[in-house]
Structure 1
Amino acid sequence: MTLVLRPIEPGDVDALQELIESDSGYTERITGYPPGSSDAQSLLMMRPEHLPEEAKVVLGAFQDDRLVAVADLLRGYPNDHTAFIGLLEVHWNHQGLGLGKATYELIQRYVETTWPEVRTLRLAVVDTNAHVATGFWLRQGFEPTGEERPYRYDKLESTARLYEKQLT
């Protein structure tokens, strides 16, 4: 089965919402709340205030025309030569099948071929999700930068630890 990576389009919003709702544990670990009914729309729109709209892309990984994973990327964040992965989430029914790794490989190829100025991929792992995410990102070649920042979402307080991977 072929995995196809492409930008999320307006017709994909319901499938995106369903994917987010399929893994409520992730949302609860990151926000302290179960998924909300407008989380897909929020994912498509949210970005740092100073970044232009075109710097954000939400990519879907589709298998047999079904959305099985999603990634949120920021081009030029925090600097012109870095792309920030804000999210990589696999549909609950498709976890444990290697789709996270396969999706990440497509993301890296997308960045390398579409954004030639980007030399570094960066992401943050929130401590409340670290037991799930850290090992995955280390296996993809990311290394901790040693930087950490306070993380807050409403009542949830945690720490976000930064990881980077240099592209060739």
Structure 2
Amino acid sequence: MCIESDVYYSTVFPQNCSTYYGPHSVDCLATVWESKGCLSEGTKAPVKLDTSERDILDVLNVDKVLDKFELVQVEAHSGDEYKELECYGIVFPENCDSYHGPHSVHCLITIWKEVDCKVKGYRYPNNFTTENNHTLEFFSLRGVRENMQAVKSAADGGNADHQLNCYGIGKTLSTFVY
């Protein structure tokens, strides 16, 4: 007879999981989901599952749940758009093959263009210094998009520095004499 502990059936129990066999609590499933790199924003995050989807997981042991969730994450990184949505809640932009990075310059350029900044912009990814590029390449895809969108929003709001960063040109004030 086994005594329940942190080590059971040669498996270290994930936090919030109290049994090897199901049913598994939503907290247990969420812990396993996140341990495999998927996000609560994913369309198949445990808190978003309907009863029939939960029932399928409840008949699996902890090892099988770990394997199933790992497969979702692996398939997301192999270019399967449905799995990207399931795991991360977004479809990766063209030229991007990882949610967490590192992101290639081509991926960063794709996002730059998607937020509608221009090639002439000072912060266009091909213009980055190695340090700037290294910083963004390890942001999440959402973080990269938010950063670039913030540059564009500030530019559109009149910030001259960010107009240069996004568009490569800034507003200049001129005095007209009539």
Max radius of gyration: which structure? Answer: 2
Q: Which has the larger strand fraction?
A: 1
TM-score relative to the length of structure 1: 0.26
Q: Which has the larger helix fraction?
A: 2
Greater relative contact order (Cα < 8 A, sep 6+): 1
